[in-house]
Structure 1
Amino acid sequence: MKIEAQHVVSLTYDLYVKNQSGVEELVEKTTEEQPLTFLYGAGQMLPKFEENLSTLSTGDTYDFRLTAEDAYGEHDEEAIANLPIQMFEGQDLPEVGAVLPLQDNQGNHFQGQVISIAEDAVLVDLNHPMAGQELHFSGKILNVRPANTEELAHGHAHGPDGHHAH
């Protein structure tokens, strides 16, 4: 079956990014037993990722690259947040390198990585961990099926066969 909007796609992927030496290394991988399953066209995936899959059908393999701009954007040196140390009162201070779940005033969830801790603040880098990186995806389309009514109402896939895992 061909991939179309409002279809559930299950696929495997290997994701490679270049390390500091410029050599591509595998950073994420899914398997046929544990595929990535998503509702195509629901805005859950990177738009250019979906665009690269748009002509494919069940059983097809793929191999493509996304520029940093088409993936998670360029690394923004200004995207640093100064979190007041009082935010962490009553709990241990996070370590440098820790990833913190954060929420803005509009209720949007995102993550920030601790880059330093000062006397009165914790400095957090709000860039996506893969910002500034070209992403290289390769994999196989395992299954394509129309989404069921419940999945369409919820705006996401409920697994390869349309049911939530228990």
Structure 2
Amino acid sequence: MKAGNNKVVTMTYTLRLNDENGKIIQQVDESRPFVQLFGVGALLPAFEKNINGLEAGDTFGFQLSAEEGYGNPSDEAILKLDKKIFEIDGKFDPEMVAVGKTITMQDNQGNPLDGKVLAVEDDSVIMDFNHPLAGENLYFSGTVLDVRDATEEELAHGHAHAGGHHHE
């Protein structure tokens, strides 16, 4: 069976910066493989395009430009937020909200967003919500372990379930 829309693909991969000799950013091995429902917009489109048509046992290696990956850093993703947003029970925790720390917040639709603290000022915090790999060329290599049809439940939920079952 070939990887494609409405298929659940299980794979291992190594993500590196730039090319096959670049710094390793992430490794996913057989002990905890990457399991993903294809065709629902959860993957980078260029990643999905490179995996499309592969079968169990196939290996892959491909580069994505910054534009195909997480895009280039944007000044619009750097925000100055009111320091009060970060208060818990009326208190600001300078250890939790420190320069260099990553904090998970929510956008207006309630979606989680990770932001990096760039600066803490008297009454504001400057956060960078660019993806950590924005502006980077990426290289993925790995092996497709399994390809199967998605279940009706997976298609309805828009994501793969471990072993075909929903685990939350």
Q: What TM-score, normalized by structure 1, do the two folds share?
A: 0.91
Amino acid at match of 2:118: I
Structure 1 Cα separation of the partners of residues 83 and 75 of structure 2: 22
Structure 2 Cα separation of the partners of residues 108 and 34 of structure 1: 25
2:16 matched residue in structure 1: 16
Matched residue of 1:97: which SS? Answer: coil
Identical amino acids, percent of aligned pairs:
45
Amino acid at match of 2:122: E
Structure 2 Cα separation of the partners of residues 88 and 101 of structure 1: 11
RMSD over aligned Cα atoms: 1.5
1:162 matched residue in structure 2: 164
User: Are the aligned partners of 2:57 and 2:145 in contact in 1 as well (CA < 8 Å)?
Assistant: yes
Deviation at 1:150, TM superposition (A): 1.1
User: Are the aligned partners of 2:84 and 2:92 in contact in 1 as well (CA < 8 Å)?
Assistant: no
Structure 1 unaligned blocks of 5 or more: none
1:149 is the counterpart of 2:152: yes
Structure 2 unaligned blocks of 5 or more: none
Matched residue of 1:24: which SS? Answer: coil
Written as runs of structure 1 = structure 2, the 5 A alignment for 1:79-98 is 79-89=77-87, 90-93=91-94, 94-98=97-101
Q: What TM-score, normalized by structure 2, do the two folds share?
A: 0.90
1:71 matched residue in structure 2: 69
Deviation at 1:51, TM superposition (A): 0.3
Specify whether residues 118 and 91 from structure 1 end up closer, same or farther in structure 2 by C-alpha distance, changes over 3 A only.
closer
Written as runs of structure 1 = structure 2, the 5 A alignment for 1:14-163 is 14-18=14-18, 24-89=22-87, 90-93=91-94, 94-159=97-162, 161-163=163-165
2:6 matched residue in structure 1: 6
Deviation at 1:100, TM superposition (A): 1.4
Deviation at 1:91, TM superposition (A): 4.0
Structure 2 Cα separation of the partners of residues 31 and 53 of structure 1: 17
After TM superposition, the runs of 4+ consecutive aligned structure 1 residues lying more than 4 A away are none
Amino acid at match of 1:132: G
Deviation at 1:165, TM superposition (A): 4.9
